[in-house]
């Protein structure tokens, strides 16, 4: 199905597909001229393709006989949906229906790997880590840190400077800064929420969304937590737990970083 739009795939592309599809890996290919409308490509000469691991989705694609094309099922710039309820909240009245096969398995979206360039480049970290790709291919993978401007067409979703953002300002908290951050939060308890491991952050009176005990659990819960606090208009700040950027931590921190606009908690910040 992909080759209808790209022409014959390279040996490298076929090798990657055999290993990682179906699964959380999106691949960007150059496409044949005129094979897809501009509404799909955004005017680019490339397109992103993924075979999802979800069987219901694959059955739907097979029944249609064509790729399914669409943007993320959420309001632009807001946290990604991980349940059908999240989709309904954002898109009620603007879509015909929702195929509900339960919550997403991973939480964070797929890794996006650009194979339209000479050296394979990860444009967005996700469920397949850079380390996994490098180990499988036996070569270095570039991890692109580029952010697109407001008027620039992104080659992949989630590349804009601020993305996945709730209405409240997210502040990332480094491990050593939690005592000071929590002391500040206690002085503004109704306006500040905590997105962290509840076993660590145990202060009465603060609103806490439990991210779980490790980065795997946190990656699954991150968007649901951001959306949870987005329903309370009194919350002005969300203090969020950070993780090292190894393995799945790269995907977690990529999403958290963009939801916060790269803003960390600091006593020097001018916080009202």
Q: Residues comprising the binding site? A: 46, 50, 72, 80, 110, 124, 164
Structure-token pair, residue 252: 């977690």
Pick out the residues of the known binding site for ATP.
Answer: 46, 72, 80, 124, 164
Tokens of 238: 């969300």
Q: Residue ranges of the alpha helices (H) in the chain?
A: 3-6, 11-20, 38-41, 55-64, 84-91, 130-137, 178-186, 215-230, 248-259
Q: How far apart are CA 41 and CA 155, in angstroms?
A: 9
Distance CA 222, CA 238 (A): 12
Q: Rg of the Cα trace of the chain?
A: 20
The three-state secondary structure class of 174 is coil
Binding-site residues for L-threonine sit at 50, 110
Distance CA 13, CA 80 (A): 28
Cα dist from 163 to 153, 235, 256, whole Å: 15, 19, 9
């Amino acid at each position: 199905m992909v080759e209808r739009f790209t022409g014959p795939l390279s040996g490298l592309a076929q090798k990657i597909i055999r290993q990682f599809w179906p699964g959380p890996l999106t691949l960007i290919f150059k496409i044949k001229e005129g094979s897809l409308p501009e509404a799909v490509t955004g005017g680019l000469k490339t397109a992103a393709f993924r075979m999802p691991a979800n069987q219901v989705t694959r059955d739907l694609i097979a029944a249609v006989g064509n790729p399914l094309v669409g943007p993320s099922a959420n309001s632009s710039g807001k946290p990604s949906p991980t349940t059908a309820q999240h989709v309904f909240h954002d898109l009620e009245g603007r879509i015909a229906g929702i195929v509900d096969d339960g919550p997403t398995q991973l939480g964070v979206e797929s890794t996006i790997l650009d194979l339209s360039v000479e050296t394979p480049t990860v444009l967005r970290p996700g469920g397949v880590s850079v380390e996994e790709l490098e180990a499988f291919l036996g070569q270095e993978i570039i991890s692109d840190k580029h952010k697109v401007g407001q008027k620039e067409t992104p080659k992949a979703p989630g590349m804009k400077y601020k993305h996945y953002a709730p209405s409240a300002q997210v502040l990332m908290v480094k491990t050593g800064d939690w005592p000071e951050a929590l002391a500040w939060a206690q002085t503004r308890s109704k306006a500040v929420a905590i997105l962290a491991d509840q076993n660590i952050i145990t202060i009465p009176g603060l609103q806490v969304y439990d991210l779980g005990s490790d980065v795997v659990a946190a990656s699954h819960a991150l968007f649901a937590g951001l959306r949870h606090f987005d329903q309370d208009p009194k919350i002005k700040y969300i203090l969020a737990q950070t993780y090292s950027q190894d393995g799945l931590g790269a995907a977690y921190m990529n999403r958290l970083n963009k939801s916060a606009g790269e803003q960390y908690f600091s006593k020097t910040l001018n916080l009202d």
